Amino acid sequence: MQLALFIIFGALAVAGALNLLLQRHPINSALSLVVVMMSLAVLYWSLGAEFLAAAQVIVYSGAVMVLFVFVIMLLNAGEEERTNGSRAAYIVGIPGAAAIFCLLSFVFLSEQKALGVASIGGHLNNGLNNIAEISQVLFTKQLLPFEVTSILILVAILGAVVLARKEEQ
């Protein structure tokens, strides 16, 4: 099952990366990058790194792509032509999305007991899950770097807002 997940989502990541390079419109390229990042999240999950998979979805597929799209919209001064979409996207996309949904549903339902449990060499690690171990380290030993990073991100967001603001004349 893990080999099938790897082959399917590895191929999906490579196809998304090629589509990213071959697209003419920057928004379509950004959406292809979302496909690549979501495929990587599934690959992380299949390796047992649930926290890294969740961070990939939340941080990269969510926040970073919103910033990419915001910058693309901000810098795109010209008028874009309206397209109806690709016919190949409809032919391949809808059955492909349904197949991926069915595959993920099957995997989640069949591996329900093993989700979130850290295993070392096939043995359970005292019943603790990855998220509990990461949060224990993050909020005790690494608390100061974590908070400094949060402040740095906040300053970067404020700087982006100030730079994006238009001056009134």
Task: Please give the average pLDDT of every successive group of 10 residues along the chain, which has 169 residues.
Answer: 84 91 83 90 86 85 79 66 70 82 80 54 54 81 88 85 71
Q: What is the DSSP letter of 112?
A: G
Tokens 């649930």 correspond to: 50
| CA–CA distance, 34 with 40 (Å, rounded to integer) | 10
Locate the domains of the chain by residue range. Answer: 2-122
For CA atoms 3, 21, 96, 43, give the dihedral sign. Answer: positive
Helix, strand, or coil here: 125? strand
pTM above 0.75, yes or no: no
**Helix%, strand%, coil% for the chain, nearest 5:** 75, 5, 20
Torsion sign over Cα 113, 115, 117, 123? positive
For residue 118, the model assigns a pLDDT of 46
Question: So what's the pLDDT on residue 166?
Answer: 67
**CATH of the domain spanning 2-122, picked from 1.20.120.1200, 3.40.190.10, 2.30.42.10, 3.30.300.30:** 1.20.120.1200
Question: What separation in angstroms does the CA of 161 have from each of 1, 12, 100?
Answer: 46, 35, 38
Which pairs from 29-34 meet CB under 8 Å and 24+ separation? 30/65, 30/68, 30/69, 30/72, 33/65, 33/68, 34/61, 34/65
